Amino acid sequence: MSKSEQIEKIELGSNDVKARFDLPRGEAEGAILLLPGISSGPFGGIFDQFAEKAKEENFMVMRYESWENLPELQEKTMDSIIKEINEALEYLESLDTERTYLVAKSFSAGMILAGKIDRADKITLWAPAIGFQEKSNIEELREKRLGGIDDVTDIKIDSEYIKQEVPVKIIHGVEDEVVPVANSESIVSGISEAEIEKLMETGHAYEGKENALIRKTIEFLNQ
């Protein structure tokens, strides 16, 4: 492990998890909680690329692995995931960093909306995987095993349910076949301080547009 990385064992929800902190060379100007989608995990690929760029911009990045495989995730509930995220943010706040930010992809981005989580200074959501309809069904599903829900987009929020009161930016690939970009357009319309940026010629994994995704996220956090 390099000097720019730190591993700590912390308690989130009912689990002890190993959290990795990617540290800038100088004093951190802010701390980012970086959360993954269902299948990718928080390490490797675009998440490592983002952490490296964030360090260059003097951000500290926190990542933790809430589940190791799909069956393990399926035993969790929305409430347990939301509790972990809130406690991770609370842990970051205890480090006395100047600002706290949330960056989340797909499933985790959907859980931030489902949990009405807005304790960060700014939130960036990458293609949030959650449904949008006229009436939310969060209350009836929040304690149900995730394995008992056919698809994460079967979890629905509505414009009355969304309560984020901090700046939110959604970045979505227009060729996304997993979660349609129109879904994010509907979500943005229900948040007072929200904007959407569409990335052309890319889908749910931001293939070929990883650098643009990272750049636009960092630019938003730095504004």
Domain harbouring 30, CATH code = 3.40.50.1820
With a pLDDT cut of 70, the percent of the chain lying above it is 99
Q: What is the pLDDT of residue 3?
A: 59
The CA distance from 91 to 41, in Å, is 20
pLDDT in tens, 130-152: 998 888 999 999 999 999 999 99
Percentages (nearest 5) of helix, strand, coil residues in the chain: 35, 25, 40
* 3-state secondary structure (DSSP) of residue 164: coil
Q: How far apart are the first and last CA of the chain?
A: 32
The whole-chain average pLDDT of the chain stands at: 92
pLDDT, tens digit, for every residue of 34-60?
999 998 789 999 999 999 999 999 999
Task: Provide the whole-model pTM.
Answer: 0.94
pLDDT band of 15, cuts 50, 70, 90: confident
> What's the total number of domains in the chain?
1
Distance CA 106, CA 126 (A): 6
Handedness of CA 44, 125, 213, 176 (dihedral sign): positive
Q: State the residue range of the domain holding 181.
A: 5-222
pLDDT in tens, 172-191: 999 999 999 999 999 998 88
Tell which residue, 125, 139, 141, has the closest CA to residue 185. Answer: 125
